[in-house]
Amino acid sequence: MKQKIIDHLFFCRTHDYLHVYIPQQQNGTANTLATYKAGLHSFRTYVNDIAKIPTNKFRFQDCSYDFLLDYRNFLHDSRNLAERTANNRLAVIKSYMNYASARDVSLQQYAFAISQVPFYTEPKIHQPVIEDVSALGALLAMPPNTKKGLRDKVIMSVLYDGATRLEELLSLKIGDLNQNNDDIRIRIHGKGNKERTIILGTKTTALVRQYLMEFHSELEANTPFIYTIIDGVQKCMSKRNVQKLMKKYADKARMNHELPKSVSPHTLRRTRGTMLYRDGVPLEAISIMLGHSNTKTTRDHYSSPSFEQMRAIANKKNEAIPDEPQLWPDDEEEMTKILGF
């Protein structure tokens, strides 16, 4: 009887959900797991502190449509979270309820009810690209000719040339690099544990070869490709460090070149994908390089024409539009009659 009561408590299945279902069945990465943990923690805090219901009293049936709608509104209106963040928190609860109801059919009515709670309509965020090729080149060349500067050049060049996500770059091990006479191929561990291979261009390959000689003379397979030394200990570089160094170089490059107001690691990835599209590379090939699960994502976020292309389209002669008729005659005598003088 006691076990039956426990089974109907809302948070009774969170351990298996987080530590078995997400990592094993959903191929969730460490970042994904952290997101789901944060989502459940946020909801539990709301249940305890705002709704004033103890964890050991809150049941699945208590998580009704109205209850979850109030939680969504609380996140957005009282906590001032952005629509996307509030939607992510909401999605975690819906996902957990679906997981629980798949294992106990008596919970399916509650899962269906909260599935109807609407997400916020998210404003479309314009993520800029670096339009000026010379500005892009200046940014990538900004690190000084020092050992640390070489590392920073490699970070930005691989982010751009390989169109990699920052998380993908920082998770690379030396064993993920395959060197041959002509180029370097990198095995990328993408979202959802999906693997893909990218080939670096000639200039980036040369930079990486030089970097490996300076930073990885022994080429141990399990050593992080990009690392930092803290108190004499080799550690993976943090995302925050990369973001800071990119801001530093972007601020310097912006003194003489036009760059977007905010330049992040993702700006380089987005710029690379967009430039490839504008250069006529097939969308399918770009999608594979970026690690997208389908071409729709690539088309929605990377298929924007340049200003020059838009201008060319606007100036392209259109035979369907007739030439504007001449309002005044060329004959001066006729003009005199019309004007009256």
- CATH architecture for residues 2-115: Orthogonal Bundle (1.10)
Residues of the chain with CATH 1.10.150: 2-115
Q: How far is CA 90 from the centre of its chain?
A: 19
Reading phi first (left if > 0) and then psi (alpha if -120 to 50, else beta), residue 34 is in alpha
Please give the pLDDT value at position 318: 56
Determine the straight-line distance between the first and last CA of the chain, rounded to whole angstroms.
Answer: 108
Q: In 121-264, where does DSSP find H-type helix? A: 133-140, 147-161, 166-170, 202-215, 239-253
**Superfamily per CATH, domain 133-310:** Intergrase catalytic core (1.10.443.10)
Q: Give the CA count within 13 Å in the CB-facing half-sphere of 289.
A: 24
**Between the CA of residue 173 and those of 128, 182, 226, 270, what are the distances in Å?**
30, 21, 8, 24
Encode pLDDT of 34-74 as tens digits: 889 999 999 999 999 999 999 999 999 999 999 999 999 99
CATH 1.10.443.10 domain locations along the chain: 133-310
pLDDT in tens, 169-222: 999 999 999 988 889 999 998 887 788 999 999 999 999 999 999 999 888 888
* Mean pLDDT, rounded, for 245-274: 93
Q: What is the pLDDT of residue 339?
A: 59
What is the pLDDT, as a whole number, of residue 294?
79
Provide the CA 308 distance to its chain's centre, in angstroms: 27
DSSP 133-174: HHHHHHHHT-S-SSHHHHHHHHHHHHHHHTT--HHHHHT-BG
pLDDT (mean) for 288-304? 78
311 in helix, strand or coil?
helix
Contact call for residues 108 and 58 (beta carbons, < 8 A): no
Burial class (CB in 10 A: 0-12, 13-18, 19+), 176: middle
User: What CA–CA distance (Å, rounded) separates 183 from 185?
Assistant: 7
Give pLDDT, residue 1: 41
For the chain, the residue count is: 341
Name the burial class of residue 243, with classes exposed (0-12), middle (13-18) and buried (19+) by CB atoms within 10 angstroms of its CB: middle
Reported as a pLDDT band with limits 50, 70 and 90, residue 140 is very high
Q: Quick check: 97 and 110 in contact, CB under 8 A?
A: yes
Q: At what angle do helices 239-253 and 265-278 cross, to 10 degrees?
A: 70
Pairing between β-strand 195-199 and β-strand 184-189 as defined by DSSP bridges: antiparallel
Within its chain, how far is the Cα of 292 from the centroid? Answer: 11
User: Is the pLDDT reported for residue 324 higher than 70?
Assistant: no
Mean pLDDT estimate for the chain: 86
Query: Are 166 and 290 a contacting pair, CB within 8 Å?
Result: no
Residues 188, 176: Cα–Cα separation, whole Å = 7
pLDDT at 32 over 90: no
